[in-house]
Structure 1
């Protein structure tokens, strides 16, 4: 059996086990446990690819319980008001930053922006959230019950004109809260996990996509019909003119090397087998003895960095897993060239590099790269030669400026606000339930890449959702997984 066939069988096993979890859910009579099983199934599909990115069967189970909740009490919505909804209050994460910048971009628009959490929260909110949503504009439920949390969110949301969801892929509370036409306010989902399985398609009056490619995933692999592209909003960067020599001196980096900077957490550098970043690094280090790699955000401990750790070039590779935000610009300006993470890309980090007009090689990948720079991404097969060429000859100033302008025209406040206004002018004014046709499950390139680097199955058993199930149910689920040859 070749590698592709093995991956196909793995996805088919994932699909079979996902279906088994849904069959357990359909037989469950206790509502809270049924909802927990639905959330567990969604978590499994998000972590272990099943060939599609949504499930009509799963959402139908949750909609049944949504209809049993009391109708929301009539309430007049605050004019020009938005309720942003998170699962948890997180200090990091793209969706936290998106909501914060949404609010900042609209601060002179006479709008109301509040935040609701679907999980109970006590303690001090992360600083980023405090700045975007100053007290008392953050609300969270007090109950751990799924149905009580949904009731809380449904009643709270009645006071707002529009609802913007950034929920976790496996969070059932939004479907429970808004899974009825009795709730009248339009519900938008900001698709911050566009390559992942998530639940909520049936309640989305509009899906806000980050890119054209993400929009294609939603249409072909999720069954979404109503969606518009709204790029992530970026903060305007102050022009910086830092000296390369001074930055390197400050950071203790060699002055006589060609420094190649790459930016991204470890999981962005999965080893794809046929195309992998680690081999690309080794080829570059072999090609020139003056190349020095600076890896920001990644740790060398993962097994797919073994080739680098054990290579004769390891002294010319420096990993910096944690870099304070205030030091990032020094690292950027110390570089001769920026090389984007692969195969998952670096998104906002890459755009910031382009905005500073630092020579960059952005690599085309199979995920949903932003429209503003996908056109000047390089196919992986051509990256080696392009990097060596740029180290020799550089990139013309006019090209750097054209790329910078492309980012500004998509993501800076003036352009982003204009795009949002266009979307809101044509967006639905009343909420509906949207039955959707689940796309056929296909073992395509995206599914294969995700399966190649899926989590170990043992992590599924450590998930709190699984751990909190009754003992007999945990044994039953484990046994089925063993029978199907999954675990």
Structure 2
């Protein structure tokens, strides 16, 4: 696929309204996907409306928090758009007084200093490696700012920054307020010639910092999540992609002007990782036959699901059947479910090894690298090529968009790709049968990847990106063109939904936002969740379904019963306990009510029910004070939003923390 391919061609849609092979093979209709996309979009819009309300109230902290939650939902849910200038405008307006001019860009700075901003830097994941390798290969001093760090910073990042003469600033540890983080991040930006944003798609702190009044350096937005929704249009003077398809999506779907787009291939280490063990040790430890050819694949489980009808498990099974000499190591998914089944079906020939932080140490003792399917895994593919392994990707453009393929510079030659399942199986069989062929293909992959992703070639591209950032006008949301939706884009949105969810079901807000609940706080979280409930359904009872351990949580139950008695919009549903008599359970409830001075007539809506609730939302609360605080706040929010006489939504309560 060349760089000039249109979106219609790149998404594989043959004609307007026609289903692609991917839709047919997955057994999921376009109409079902569109309904879920619409439901997700309604939830997203409700979250954005909450941010808008706090903007009107001149509450910038809650604008940033609500925007973070809304963007995190869109990143994970697939909502039919890849950017939202409206939400980004709310963020920028919240940190600038009305009439205040946009920040000015100082392109003349020459301190030899670059600030890299990451939301989170982890041991596992390509974007963190990209950042520290960028720092290692740049001659300038590098500082790093982290806006949502939840674990220890990897040693590789600390070492790269220290060697450059810079420092790492964990804003999460220093500031509990997102607004304070934004001000501190802007202060750090003042010292830099250039800022590189490696941020997650939901990072409102970076948007706010970049748009505070005053003078700032040029900003490069490193587009590591090129396939999905992200915040960044309002701060990206230049968007740099690591593969051509990212740039095409930016131009054709995001509406970013061509002068702001650049290509910088992923930086990889020129020297392959050292082997964690010898070939003999690996074979002995796992029980691999001595004459077996070892293939390896590294990918998260989400990239291997049958998103478009066929998943990697089916491909792997057919491959192992067709090529008896092959053993396959899968790094990423644990040995459970379909992967456990494959291990049982192909003993000593298939191994699901789970997550490994040093997966590249396997490459020197393997013979072939198989790219993830149906969703490519770019960084691992490049690292395997550097190790000299022949790499092969199965890419079926008639089934899905080429967005899901690696399209990495250096590996676009047909030598490294198979266009059909039959060709894929034949090519692997040939590689398994010939050490000479493996060596030839591996040397070719290593040579082309090193040329594009390391050394002077990569450094020259980096300098060109820096020069471009100093040359172009500053980021301006008004300059982002409104792109008219096309049938091909609609098809891509359906694919994105299937990738995100593994199905066409609407995305539950509460599951996605659990990791950010503590950042948001109980009251705002309840407001946001209530907004999504209102967007999804208007008539359903708000019932607190308690977990089976309820008799053991006496103080918690007393508060829940008191809350129920004073709020007619709440119902408390207690499950029947296995082996317990109904009369005994009723006696426990009446005793608790008696402590509160209540009885069966004054307690409100309390019931003991053997059956699971029908049509219940999948929210679960812990038996904690925070859990009941959240429930109380949520019930109040829903009561404010509902017309008189409407019942409220159902909640389940037992074991998963949400507040």
Give the TM bin, normalised by the shorter chain: 0.7 to 0.9
In structure 2, do the counterparts of structure 1 residues 73 and 452 end up closer, same or farther at CA, with 3 Å as the change threshold? closer
- The answer to whether the Cα contact below 8 Å between 2:194 and 2:466 also exists between their aligned partners in 1 is no
Q: 2 CA distance for matches of 1:173 and 1:373?
A: 36
2:246 alignment partner, SS class: helix
Partner residue in 1 for 2:469? 427
Alpha-carbon distance between aligned partners in 2 of 1:55 and 1:87, rounded to the nearest angstrom: 19
Aligned residue for 1:7? 33
Question: Aligned equivalents of 1:251 and 1:306: distance in 2?
Answer: 15
Instruction: Give TM-score scaled by structure 2 length.
Output: 0.66
* 2:322 matched residue in structure 1: 287
Kept after mapping to 2: 8 A contact 1:180/1:433: no
Report the alpha carbon displacement of residue 315 of structure 1 after superposing the two structures with TM: 5.5
Q: How many angstroms apart in 2 are the aligned matches of 1:11 and 1:125?
A: 36
1:186 — aligned with what? 218
Output the CA distance in 1 between the equivalents of 2:170 and 2:513.
Answer: 28
2:303 aligns with: 268
Please, which runs of 5 or more residues in structure 1 have no aligned partner? none
Q: Against the structure 1 CA distance between its residues 410 and 57, is the aligned structure 2 distance closer, same or farther, given a 3 Å change threshold?
A: same
Deviation at 1:350, TM superposition (A): 1.5
1:236 paired with 2:270, answer yes
Q: Is the contact between residue 182 and residue 208 of structure 2 (CA under 8 Å) also seen in structure 1?
A: yes
Alignment of 1:396-407 (within 5 A): 397-407=439-449
Tell me, yes or no, if structure 1 residue 318 matches structure 2 residue 361.
no
- Is this contact kept in 2: 1:89–1:117, CA < 8 A? yes
1:40-439 matches, within 5 Å, as 40-68=69-97, 79-106=111-138, 109=139, 111-119=140-148, 125-134=153-162, 137-141=167-171, 142-179=174-211, 182-225=214-257, 226-237=260-271, 244-245=279-280, 247-249=282-284, 252-301=287-336, 305=339, 308=342, 312-313=345-346, 316-323=349-356, 325=358, 328-329=360-361, 331-364=362-395, 366-367=403-404, 369=406, 370-375=408-413, 376-381=416-421, 382-393=423-434, 395=437, 397-429=439-471, 432-435=474-477, 436-439=480-483
Q: Secondary structure at the match of 2:417?
A: coil
Partners of 1:211 and 1:371 within 8 A in 2:
yes
Per-residue deviation at 1:119? 4.4
Shift in Å, 1:165: 0.7
Matches of 1:396 and 1:308 in 2, distance apart? Answer: 25
Q: What is the rounded CA distance, in whole Å, between the counterparts of 2:121 and 2:202 in structure 1?
A: 16
CA distance in 1, matches of 2:403, 2:420: 11
1-structure distance, mates of 2:357, 2:368: 21
Which residue in 2 is equivalent to 1:31?
A: 60
Q: Distance in 1 between matches of 2:153 and 2:322?
A: 49
Larger RCO (CA under 8 A, 6+ residues apart): 1
Cα deviations across residues 12-63 of structure 1 (Å, max 9, x unaligned)? Answer: 2212222222223222323222221111111111001122211111111112
- Matched position secondary structure for 1:133: helix
User: Residue 496 of structure 2 aligns with which residue?
Assistant: 450
Q: CA RMSD in A?
A: 3.3
Distance 1:389 1:88, change over 3 A: closer
Q: In the aligned structure 2, how far is the partner of 1:248 from the partner of 1:348?
A: 26
Describe the shift of the 1:191–1:23 C-alpha distance in structure 2 as closer, same or farther (beyond 3 A): same
Provide, for residues 269-328 of structure 1, a one-character-per-residue CA deviation record: whole Å limited to 9, x for no partner: 122242321111121222244432211232233x5647636x733663211114462x74
Distance 2:212 2:404 in 1: 33
In structure 2, stretches of 5+ residues that fail to align are 1-26, 396-401, 502-506, 540-614, 618-659
Distance 2:105 2:272 in 1: 47
Q: CA deviation at 1:191?
A: 1.0
- C-alpha separation in 2, matches of 1:422 and 1:445: 35
- Paired with 1:54 and 1:486, the residues of 2 have a C-alpha distance of 32
